[in-house]
Structure 1
Amino acid sequence: MSVVEESRPFAQQLSNVYFTILSLFCFKLFVKISLAILSHFYIVKGNRKEAARIAAEFYGVTQGQGSWADRSPLHEAASQGRLLALRTLLSQVNAITIDGVTPLFNACSQGSPSCTELLLEYGAKPQLESCLPSPTHEAASKGHHECLEILISWGIDVDQDIPHLGTPLYVASMSQQFHCVRKLLYTGADVQKGKYWDTPLHAAAQQSCTEIVNLLLEFGADVNAKNTELLRPVDVATSSSLVERLLLQHEATPSSLCQLCRLCIRNYIGRPRLHLIPQLQLPTLLQNFLQYR
């Protein structure tokens, strides 16, 4: 038997391998093209949710990060903090990807106060429908308190409740973002509003964050509030932890008269008018006291 005859089966096998690889590549390319066409069809028909689902399942695109299908240069500039590029693209200020992401969301996600301010000045909506990704919640969860402060100054609802996230205060407490929690509370966020029946204090106790627990208690958080499982904040705290001891001590110690008076006055003034406290005919010491300064 010649050498050529002996090597022929191996050559045939190698040829089959190459053919299989080529077939798989062509099949994958065909699927990609088909899904791209299908996604475009859903976008044209107005069914952006279904288009987002296709992108998420096949391409691994996560909600909140923007979709490959219709992510505009404005989204890219905002997410990268490129202020100069952003100025040239502001004709699409409220552009929304198929999964609901706006350039303002991208700017808050990356923590760019300058881009956030610029987008708002050119007409970006600081707050959209509750079903869309929220710039406020994104800034609060990532600790971008400067972006959060800008959003607050533009009149966002600091108690906006998104069913699967809760309020910005709850999100900030769960993410242990002290500065964002403080900013929200100073602005007048409801200390009791969280996610369903879980309060921000439940979130802070669960994360064993003593700083935030102390801050929430100072603003009147209820240590006896129960969630859907009838658990109080102390019940979700780590056993024998500093947070558990702190909550137990607070339960046994009544609030001071000063704290009760401050909470009562702030509640009477109301959140929309808290910013007017400096205009009251009160000594500076009392103004600072009412503003937790």
Structure 2
Amino acid sequence: METEAVPIIASVALRGPLIGDIGNWHSRTPVHDASRHGNTSQLRELIDSGVCVNLVTVDSITPLHEACLHGHIQCVKLLLAAGAQVDARNIDGSTPLCDASAAGSLECVKFLLDNGAKVNPPLFTASPLHEACMSGKSECVKLLIEVGANLEAHDCHFGTPLHVACAREHLDCAKALLHAGANVNAAKLHETALHHAAKVKNTELVKMLVEFGGNVYARDNRGKKPTDYTWPNSPTAKCFEYYEKTPRSLYQLCRLNLRKTLGQRAVEKILKLNIPTRLKQYLTYN
């Protein structure tokens, strides 16, 4: 029985998944399995035997997706060297770079970028930056920002990367986005990052967003301000109450307006200004 199973497995690997395998892990081929588990020796044998590295499951997952999602850099290198499509999309629109970012694998992210992976996908789909923020992988967030990730990429379900970072309470990710010039008042159905911070009742997140210009009076599509999502007399509610009653200082308003004028990549532009170092530090929140 075992000897009869070998050619059957090889046959499945060569021809791809069966339509009858929809929604079933049987639609994953041996090359998917080797990539998922980081089995480089098995993967090399399959590639050498002529197996196609761009086989897809019924949900359009490729072996490269599997390797990236689990951070197996050696498998990623083998697959790309064998001709794997670096920007292949699964049924959800995610690329291998999205999966590597979600896994927080800096090695995989860097290697994919070096091999031509696109950091910015089409509009209204989750981007690698969204995925990194969702998983709280702040180092990946910083790297993606460095290589030109769109800070205002808008996913129809999640909004901007800042919305995602705040909804998941990943302060380091939110801070990296804000420092880079992300729009703190970007809205999804009129809902801002401050609305998310209020819903998760994270006072530190609220303070940081307000410091970067978050509008405490913004109303969502239900007509509610961020404070309307807090418990009465809770630390978060008191925080909002303070900000609603206390006007911003003139120097804070100047900083916010200058950064707004400079837009995305504001820090890079500020550092080039012919102004005193202390002013640069203030404008860049250092």
* Same structural fold, with TM-score higher than 0.5 when normalized by the shorter chain: yes
Change (3 A) 1:239 1:273: closer
Q: After superposing the two structures, state which structure 1 stretch, 157-166 or 97-106, moved more.
A: 97-106
Runs of 4+ in 1 over 4 A off after TM superposition: none
Deviation at 1:273, TM superposition (A): 4.6
Task: Please name the residue that 1:262 is paired with.
Answer: 255
Which amino acid in structure 2 is aligned with residue 77 of structure 1?
A
Task: Please name the residue that 2:200 is paired with.
Answer: 207
1:232 to 213, 225, 237: 225
Task: Please name the residue that 1:282 is paired with.
Answer: 275
Task: Please name the residue that 1:55 is paired with.
Answer: 23
Deviation at 1:272, TM superposition (A): 4.1
Which amino acid in structure 2 is aligned with residue 161 of structure 1?
H
Give the percent of matched residue pairs that are identical in Structure 1 and Structure 2.
Answer: 38
Task: Please name the residue that 1:17 is paired with.
Answer: none
Q: 1:86 aligned to 2:76?
A: yes
Change (3 A) 1:224 1:119: same
Aligned length: 238
Q: 1:171 aligned to 2:139?
A: no
Task: Please name the residue that 1:154 is paired with.
Answer: 147
Alignment of 1:99-114 (within 5 A): 99-114=92-107
| Partner Cα separation in structure 2 for residue 238 and residue 127 of structure 1 | 38
Alignment of 1:2-151 (within 5 A): 36-37=18-19, 55=23, 68-69=57-58, 70-90=60-80, 91=83, 92-151=85-144
Q: 1:220 aligned to 2:213?
A: yes
Please give the per-residue CA displacement for 1:236-273, whole angstroms capped at 9, x wherever unaligned.
11222101000001111111112111111112223245
Unaligned runs of 5+ in 2: 1-16, 28-55
| Partner Cα separation in structure 1 for residue 124 and residue 280 of structure 2 | 39
Please give the per-residue CA displacement for 1:153-199, whole angstroms capped at 9, x wherever unaligned.
12121011112111111111111000011001011111111321111
Aligned CA-pair RMSD? 2.3
Give the conservation status (yes or no) of the 8 Å contact 1:139–1:145: yes
| Partner Cα separation in structure 1 for residue 116 and residue 263 of structure 2 | 28
Which amino acid in structure 2 is aligned with residue 206 of structure 1?
K
Give the conservation status (yes or no) of the 8 Å contact 1:206–1:238: no
Higher helix residue share: 1
Change (3 A) 1:224 1:99: closer
Give the conservation status (yes or no) of the 8 Å contact 1:55–1:68: no
Please give the per-residue CA displacement for 1:14-36, whole angstroms capped at 9, x wherever unaligned.
xxxxxxxxxxxxxxxxxxxxx94
| Partner Cα separation in structure 2 for residue 55 and residue 239 of structure 1 | 46
Give the conservation status (yes or no) of the 8 Å contact 1:202–1:233: yes
Give the conservation status (yes or no) of the 8 Å contact 1:127–1:134: yes
Q: 1:183 aligned to 2:199?
A: no
Which amino acid in structure 2 is aligned with residue 212 of structure 1?
L
Deviation at 1:131, TM superposition (A): 4.5
Please give the per-residue CA displacement for 1:259-288, whole angstroms capped at 9, x wherever unaligned.
111111112223245312222222211111
